[in-house]
Amino acid sequence: MLGFWYSKSPQFAKDHKDFWRARLITHFLLFSTAYFFILTVLNIFYFEQLDLALIDCLGLVISLTIYFWFYKSGNVNVTAWAVTLMASSLAILFIISVGGNPFSILWATLIPPFAFFLIGRKRGSIISAIAFSICAYLIYTQQQQTITIGLGSLFNTIEVSIAHILIFRFYEKTRSLAYQNLSNLNDEIKKLAETDKLTELYNRQKFDAELSALITKSEHSQASHCLLMCDIDYFKRINDTYGHLVGDKVLKEFAHLLQQKIGEQALIARWGGEEFVIILLNTALLDAAKQANELRSLISSNTVANMPITISLGVTAIQKSNDSVLKVLERADKALYFAKHHGRNLVCINDNNAHVTCYDTFLKLVDDDINE
């Protein structure tokens, strides 16, 4: 029953900021639905009080309406308001139904925990204060002759209510601040775990995860994506001649340049050392080869951190079926090795049939294919 109820409520990941609010809403609505259902049945068949049964039935309908609206819209904020107002109205209705019995104020003490957790500190304070005032007023004016409550006791109740609200306000402030701090720290840790410190690009681990997700997605979509493996030529010489700090500067600026030139339609990561990997999204193999060659040409005709450098690139397409992270990377690596072996400052392409050619030959083969 509980599992079914959960499955019909909006699903949030456990680390989503609304996960616990949604859980409280779901529990409250389950409780109020069951509560009103039982009361409706009892009032119809056991107590035979149809007027009360009608009110309970209304409560049941409201609970279910909020629940199904929540399920359809997934809007936690609006549902949180609806649930807070419903809980407050229930407390007030209960006080009226027991003719202002002073002990019924206990129901009003449930309002602040709901209100603060669901709609926040400021709004929670306002709703709690209004609901408490109405409850205190009702208890004072509706009390029956047999149970009397003096003005002193009323003030006492109001003082306790104010203290109750203030304590919950304080509690909610510390809870939400602690949650915020934790959530910021989590974001930072996540970013650190996914980012290469020197270049601020994705690191290898994050890249593998992204590539793996993309391969799975590609199996069910028409879009084609390509992978470029890119290596700075003779990078060791820069280190050996100018020192590691200059080498670092070249890596940083090169990464920045990649982001600037292709970052919008690509996922770029530092694979390690002076090697970078790039996924060109929604790009066919021929276009990927052209873009890789433009990049190569741009780098060789400019300087990076005042260093004249060249790059070699291996290009391959992500296949629609039976591909894997390892296979894609192996194909791109094979093409890159081919480029290095054939003199560097080159783009070579692995056409997925394990056939590797360098850029000019690849273009010629494509042309021949078209002309045939």
Ligand X SMILES: Nc1nc2c(ncn2[C@@H]2O[C@H](COP(=O)(O)OP(=O)(O)OP(=O)(O)O)[C@@H](O)[C@H]2O)c(=O)[nH]1
Q: Which residues in this chain contact ligand X in the complex, by CB under 6 A?
A: 198, 231-236, 239, 244, 247-248, 251, 273-274, 340, 344
Order of strands across the sheet that contains 266-272: 266-272, 275-280, 226-232, 311-317, 347-350, 356-358
Residues 6+ apart with CB under 8 A from 259: 201, 268
274: annotated active-site residue: yes
Nearer to ligand X, 147 or 273 (CB): 273
- Residue 7: count other Cβ atoms within 10 Å of its Cβ: 9
Nearer to ligand X, 40 or 312 (CB): 312
**Min CB(275)–ligand X separation in Å:** 8
**Min CB(330)–ligand X separation in Å:** 18
* Rounded distance between C-alpha atoms, residue 88 and residue 130, angstroms: 9
Nearer to ligand X, 191 or 236 (CB): 236
β-strands 311-317, 347-350 pairing: parallel
Q: Which three-class secondary structure state does DSSP give residue 75? A: coil
**Min CB(227)–ligand X separation in Å:** 18
Residues 6+ apart with CB under 8 A from 272: 204
Nearer to ligand X, 233 or 323 (CB): 233
* Rounded distance between C-alpha atoms, residue 19 and residue 27, angstroms: 12
- Residue 212: count other Cβ atoms within 10 Å of its Cβ: 13
Do residues 226 and 349 lie in contact, with contact meaning Cβ atoms separated by under 8 Å?
no
Nearer to ligand X, 173 or 244 (CB): 244
**Min CB(251)–ligand X separation in Å:** 6
Token pair, residue 141, equals 């004016």
Token pair, residue 164, equals 């109750």
Name the active-site residue from 194, 253, 274, 372. Answer: 274
**Min CB(232)–ligand X separation in Å:** 6
- Residue 224: count other Cβ atoms within 10 Å of its Cβ: 18
Catalytic residue annotation: 274
